[in-house]
Amino acid sequence: PTHPDTADVLVVGGGIGGLGAAFALAGEGLRVRVLEAAPEFGEVGAGLQLAPNGTRVLHEYGLLDEAKRRGVVPETMVMFDAVDATELTRLDLRDLERRYGFPYIVIHRSDLHALLLDACRRAGVDLATDSRVVEYRTRGPRPSVVLADGRIEDADVVIAADGLHSVARDRFVGDAPVGSSYVAYRGAVPIDDVRDQRVHENAVVVYVGPRCHFVQYALRGGEMFNQVAVFQSPKALAGEDDWGTPDELDEAFADTAEQVRAGIPLMWRDRWWRMFDREPVDTWVFDRVALLGDAAHPPLQYLAQGAIMALEDGWVLARHAARNRAADGTVDWAAALAGYQAVRPEHCRRVQRTARAWGELWHLDGLARAQRNRILRERDTYDYTFVDWLYGPTALEPDREAPMFVPIPLDSFADAAP
Ligand code: FAD
């Protein structure tokens, strides 16, 4: 392992974003040290969807086969109306794989995290736990960070991958997370517990309904079944502190179809998550400190792209480091970070904005819901207009940028809303 004071790169935060970046940079021969606040590396939550733009990065890292082994490669993604359980639209994930060159997979968060952690270990990344960064210093020849216990560490460059509540974001941008009034419950159970409900084992299923939605898919080679229930919390909306309690969960799904209601009792009821994002910002690089992952661009989760964007960031960053590396091995970090900054914010801004719009569309009620359903039913399964910009390689190669994505005009629904 590398000695701290000889690290080329310090990565703050050992989540999926931080570990992905650390692995990619170590792969370029750089000495990388990860500083993780928690006493152990790990992930909370259950399933994670990885669309082709995410599995493309895993393929580049040589980790895709293992990810597929640990996860599930579903055949379809189907959207149903949560109230009447009618089908609205679907994606044929086999065709999607042919189109974009990489599969759509689902994987347990802790499995993806463990896979990246193992890869970092093999690549010689220096991994430190109990290392909470409380301050960043950009003056002087090398940037440095101050840890909670007073230690100071420096490197040629610091990558802040410290998540939604990023200290670096606070220090350099100074904005606050934007709280939506939506709350998520998660839950993963053995597949046998849901067999009698005749759930779709080979599909990613989402039921969209008024102020709520429900996601289901099998995990871990089909042994587990993952569910996410999201709803607007009346107490969160009213600004009360005890938002999202289980009685609110039950109430939010009371008028949904039987298929949906059957899943609600299986949710973990001792922990729930408020949905936050932030306003997009165009500047992620502050001298020799760069934001990455949720620290830079936390989205609402409706497009299932947060972890993917974090993985993409690391891959792009490492490519720019490699491009700006002299024969003696030194990296022109100003140029590398400028390259990273030139490529990523525009795409991530678009994901953040579209995720918000997508969430609004999912949660419509009344006439607007009926209009949405009609439009979605008319969509051809093999029409990729809405996902080309997202699942294709454009996020990594801006010279291949697709035309600006135009979401279904929400204004027309807003006018019609009761
Ligand atoms: P984090 O995972 O938050 O990691 C940050 C790390 O930094 C943590 O380990 C933390 O302990 C550490 N840390 C924090 N502060 C400090 C500090 N001061 N010093 C040192 N270390 C620190 N994304 C997808 O791609 N697909 C999906 O299907 C999907 N589904 C989702 C469903 C839900 C309900 C939610 C809430 C999110 C979902 N996401 C999904 C988004 C995804 O989970 C996140 O975008 C992703 O995990 C962000 O990774 P990260 O490494 O940037 O941040």
pLDDT value at 407 more than 70: no
Q: What's at 395, amino acid-wise?
A: A
pLDDT value at 405 more than 60: no
Nearest to 346 by CA among 407, 391, 284: 284
Ligand 1 site-directed mutation target among 50, 133, 294, most atoms within 8 Å of CB: 294
Cβ–Cβ under 8 Å, residues 245 and 235: yes
Please compute the mean of the pLDDT values over residues 357-367 and round it to a whole number: 95
Tokens for 80? Answer: 């149903």
Complex ipTM above 0.90?
yes
Q: What is the pLDDT of residues 47-63, one digit of tens each?
A: 999 999 999 999 999 99
CA distance linking residue 100 with residue 53, whole number of Å: 8
Residues 6+ positions from 327 with CB-CB distance below 8 Å: none
Cβ–Cβ under 8 Å, residues 344 and 51: no
Q: How far is the CA of 16 from the centre of ligand 1 (A)?
A: 7
Q: How far is the CA of 306 from the centre of ligand 1 (A)?
A: 8
The reported pLDDT for the residue numbered 386 is 84
- pTM beyond 0.90: yes
Q: What is the pLDDT of residues 295-319, one digit of tens each?
A: 999 999 999 999 999 999 999 999 9
Nearest to 49 by CA among 117, 109, 126, 129: 109
The reported pLDDT for the residue numbered 198 is 82
Please name the residue whose Cα sits nearest to atom 18 of ligand 1.
Answer: 133
Q: What is the pLDDT of residues 186-211, one digit of tens each?
A: 999 999 999 888 889 899 999 999 99
pLDDT value at 233 more than 80: yes
Residue recorded with tokens 């040629």: 156
The overall average pLDDT reported for the chain is: 91
Cβ–Cβ under 8 Å, residues 21 and 158: no
CB 35 less than 6 A from any atom of ligand 1:
yes
Burial category of 378 from C-beta neighbours within 10 Å (exposed 0-12, middle 13-18, buried 19 and up):
exposed
Residue recorded with tokens 């997979």: 105
Q: How far is the CA of 64 from the centre of ligand 1 (A)?
A: 20
Beta bridge partners of 203: 76
First to last CA, the chain: 62
Please compute the mean of the pLDDT values over residues 321-340 and round it to a whole number: 94
Q: How confident is the model at residue 43 (pLDDT cuts 50, 70, 90)?
A: confident
Q: How far is the CA of 289 from the centre of ligand 1 (A)?
A: 19
Please compute the mean of the pLDDT values over residues 161-184 and round it to a whole number: 97
Q: Measured from the CA of 299, which atom of ligand 1 is nearest? A: 45
CA distance linking residue 355 with residue 361, whole number of Å: 10
Catalytic residue at 217? yes
The reported pLDDT for the residue numbered 404 is 37
Please compute the mean of the pLDDT values over residues 269-293 and round it to a whole number: 96
Out of 15-29, 358-372, 399-413, which region has the weakest mean confidence (pLDDT)? 399-413
CB 36 less than 6 A from any atom of ligand 1:
yes
The reported pLDDT for the residue numbered 396 is 56
- Which of these is catalytic: 217, 302, 340, 391? 217
CA distance linking residue 119 with residue 358, whole number of Å: 34
Q: How confident is the model at residue 409 (pLDDT cuts 50, 70, 90)?
A: very low
Q: How confident is the model at residue 403 (pLDDT cuts 50, 70, 90)?
A: very low
Q: What's at 75, amino acid-wise?
A: E
Please compute the mean of the pLDDT values over residues 369-395 and round it to a whole number: 88
CB 301 less than 6 A from any atom of ligand 1:
yes
Residues 6+ positions from 200 with CB-CB distance below 8 Å: 76, 78, 216
By DSSP bridging, strand 157-160 and strand 289-291 are parallel
Please name the residue whose Cα sits nearest to atom 50 of ligand 1.
Answer: 17
Tokens for 213? Answer: 């939605």
CB 267 less than 6 A from any atom of ligand 1:
no
Beta bridge partners of 225: 189, 218
Q: What's the Cα-to-Cα distance from 245 to each of 62, 177, 228, 270, 396, rounded to whole Å?
A: 42, 21, 15, 9, 40
Q: How far is the CA of 252 from the centre of ligand 1 (A)?
A: 26
